[in-house]
C-alpha cells in the first residue's frame, strides 16, 4: 500500500470478523480481531465496521472493539452510527413491530419448526439455520416474508440462512460511498462474506479510488467470491490478511 494514510478499511461483522455460529446471540468476534484492528487503525485513515447488526450488539459481541482508536461502526446497513462512544440513530420505523407481531401466526401456518426470530429493534431477522432443512425453510419463507414486508413498508434483506425485514433507503453500498466521501478517502478496501456486502463491493468499484474487495469465503455463499478481487478462508483468513496488511504498512 503506497498511501496508507488515505486508506479506508471497511469490514463486515458476521462471517467476516466473527465466525458463523448457529445462535446469533452466541456469536463472538474472532479473539485476535480487536488487537489487529487497533494496530491497523494506527496505520490507515480509518477502520469502519459496516454491518446489519445494531452497533451496540457488535460492541457487546466484540469485547475490545470500543478501544480500537478511531473505529466507526455503521450498523443496520448504515442507518445507525457509533463513533467515539456516541451512538446516533434515527427513530425506528413503525412497520417493524407491526411485522414482528404477525410473525408467530405466519410461522405456525407455514408449519416451520426451528425457525428463530431475532428482534433487532430497527429490523427483524428470521433465521432458518437451526431448522431441520435450513435451505427449504428459507425458500418456504421467501414469498410470505416479502408480502409481509411490503404490507409494512419494509424490504427483505437476504443473508446466510436469514431473511431480514428492514426499512428501505439505505444499504452497505450507499453507507460506504457516503463514508468514503466524508473522510476524503484516497483508497478503499472492503471485506465481506454475504449478499448484503455486494453493494459495498460495488461502492468500492464506483468510487473510482484504488480499491480492493475481499471475500471471507464459505461454502454457503458463492456470489461474493465470484465478484471479489481476493478470496480468503473465512474469519481466520481475514485475520491473516489483516496481520499481513499491518506488517506491510508503514505510515
Ligand atoms: O452484516 P453482517 O455483520 O454480516 O450481519 C448479517 C447478519 O448476521 C447475523 O446472522 C448471521 O450470523 C449468525 C451468527 O453467526 C448466524 O447464526 C446466521 O445464520 C447468519 O445469517 C445476524 O444474526 C443478523 O441479524 C445480521 O443481519
pTM to 2 decimals? 0.97
User: What is the CATH classification number for the domain harbouring 104?
Assistant: 3.30.70.1020
Which pLDDT does position 2 carry in this prediction? Answer: 79
Identify whether residues 122 and 176 lie together within a single domain.
Answer: no
Q: Is pLDDT above 90 for 92?
A: no
Question: How many CA atoms lie less than 13 Å away from 222 in the CB half-sphere?
Answer: 0
Mutate to test the pocket of ligand 1, among 10, 11, 15, 201 (most ligand atoms within 8 A of CB): 15
Identify whether residues 100 and 140 lie together within a single domain.
Answer: yes
CA dihedral sign, ordered 140, 220, 130, 19: negative
Identify whether residues 62 and 129 lie together within a single domain.
Answer: no
Identify whether residues 63 and 174 lie together within a single domain.
Answer: yes
Which pLDDT does position 211 carry in this prediction? Answer: 97
**197 CA: nearest ligand 1 atom:** 1
Give CA 95 to chain center in angstroms. Answer: 22
CA dihedral sign, ordered 55, 142, 172, 231: positive
Identify whether residues 72 and 195 lie together within a single domain.
Answer: yes
**125 CA: nearest ligand 1 atom:** 25
**20 CA: nearest ligand 1 atom:** 15
Each residue's pLDDT tens digit, 30-85 = 999 999 999 999 999 999 999 999 999 999 999 999 999 999 999 999 999 999 99
Distance between Cα 98 and ligand 1 center (Å): 22
Q: Final residue of a domain: which of 148, 166, 184?
A: 166
Distance between Cα 246 and ligand 1 center (Å): 27
Identify whether residues 104 and 181 lie together within a single domain.
Answer: no
Could you give the C-alpha distances from 205 to 113, 176, 189, 201, 202, in angstroms and in order? 41, 11, 10, 6, 5
Identify whether residues 13 and 72 lie together within a single domain.
Answer: yes
Identify whether residues 83 and 174 lie together within a single domain.
Answer: yes
Rg of the chain over Cα atoms, rounded to whole angstroms, equals 18
**Closest residue by CA, ligand 1 atom 4:** 14
Please state the domain count of the chain.
Answer: 2
Mean pLDDT of the chain: 97
Identify whether residues 42 and 78 lie together within a single domain.
Answer: yes
Report the 3 state secondary structure along the chain: CCCHHHEEEEECCECCCECCCCCHHHCCCCCCHHHHHHHHHCCCCEEEEECCCCHHHHHHHCCCHHHCCCCEEEEHHHCEEEECCEEECCCCCCHHHHHHHHHHHHHHHHCCCCCEEEECCCCEEEECCCCCCHHHHHHHHHHHHHHHHHHCCCEEEEECCEEEEECCCCCHHHHHHHHHHHCCCCEEEEEECCHHHHHHHHHHHHCCCCEEEEEECCCCCCHHHHHCCEEECHHHHHHHHHHHHHHHCCC
Q: Which residues are catalytic?
A: 12
Task: Label residue 94 exposed, middle or buried (CB < 10 Å: 0-12, 13-18, 19+).
Answer: exposed
The parent domain of residue 75 ranges over 4-90+169-248
Cell numbers for 104:
408467530
**Closest residue by CA, ligand 1 atom 22:** 24
User: What is the CATH classification number for the domain harbouring 188?
Assistant: 3.40.50.1000
Distance between Cα 153 and ligand 1 center (Å): 22
Q: Is pLDDT above 90 for 218?
A: yes
Distance between Cα 240 and ligand 1 center (Å): 22
**23 CA: nearest ligand 1 atom:** 17
ipTM reported for the complex surpasses 0.95: yes
Distance between Cα 107 and ligand 1 center (Å): 20
Protein residues whose CB sits closer than 6 Å to any atom of ligand 1: 12-15, 20-22, 24, 27, 51-53, 118, 120, 125, 127, 129, 159-162, 164, 194, 196
Which pLDDT does position 41 carry in this prediction? Answer: 97
Identify whether residues 134 and 19 lie together within a single domain.
Answer: no
Residues 215 and 230: beta-carbon distance below 8 Å: yes
Q: Is pLDDT above 70 for 90?
A: yes
Q: Final residue of a domain: which of 145, 166, 187?
A: 166
Identify whether residues 50 and 124 lie together within a single domain.
Answer: no
Q: Final residue of a domain: which of 141, 166, 191?
A: 166
Identify whether residues 17 and 77 lie together within a single domain.
Answer: yes
Mutate to test the pocket of ligand 1, among 59, 159, 192, 219 (most ligand atoms within 8 A of CB): 159
Give CA 17 to chain center in angstroms. Answer: 10
Each residue's pLDDT tens digit, 115-126 = 999 999 999 999
Which pLDDT does position 251 carry in this prediction? Answer: 57
Residues 66 and 82: beta-carbon distance below 8 Å: no
Amino acid at each position: 500500500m503506497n498511501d496508507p494514510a488515505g486508506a479506508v478499511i471497511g469490514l463486515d461483522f458476521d462471517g467476516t470478523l466473527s465466525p458463523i455460529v448457529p445462535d446469533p446471540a452466541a456469536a463472538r468476534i474472532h479473539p485476535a480481531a480487536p488487537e489487529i484492528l487497533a494496530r491497523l487503525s494506527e496505520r490507515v485513515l480509518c477502520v469502519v465496521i459496516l454491518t446489519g447488526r445494531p452497533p451496540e450488539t457488535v460492541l457487546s459481541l466484540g469485547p475490545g472493539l470500543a478501544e480500537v482508536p478511531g473505529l466507526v461502526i455503521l450498523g443496520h446497513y448504515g442507518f445507525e452510527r457509533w463513533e467515539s462512544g456516541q451512538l446516533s440513530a434515527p427513530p425506528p420505523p413503525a412497520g417493524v413491530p407491526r411485522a414482528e407481531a404477525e410473525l408467530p401466526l405466519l410461522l405456525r401456518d407455514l408449519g416451520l419448526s426451528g425457525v428463530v426470530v431475532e428482534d433487532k429493534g430497527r429490523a427483524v431477522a428470521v433465521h432458518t439455520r437451526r431448522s431441520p432443512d435450513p435451505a427449504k425453510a428459507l425458500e418456504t419463507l421467501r414469498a410470505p416474508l416479502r408480502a409481509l414486508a411490503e404490507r409494512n413498508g419494509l424490504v427483505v434483506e437476504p443473508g446466510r440462512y436469514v431473511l431480514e425485514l428492514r426499512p428501505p433507503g439505505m444499504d452497505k453500498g450507499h453507507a460506504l460511498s457516503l463514508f468514503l466521501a466524508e473522510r476524503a478517502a484516497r483508497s478503499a478496501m472492503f471485506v465481506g462474506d454475504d449478499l448484503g456486502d455486494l453493494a459495498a463491493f460495488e461502492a468500492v468499484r464506483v468510487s473510482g479510488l484504488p480499491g480492493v474487495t475481499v471475500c471471507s469465503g464459505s461454502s454457503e455463499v458463492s456470489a461474493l467470491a465470484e465478484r471479489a478481487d481476493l478470496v480468503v478462508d473465512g474469519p481466520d483468513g481475514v485475520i491473516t490478511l489483516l496481520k499481513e496488511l499491518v506488517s506491510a504498512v508503514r505510515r
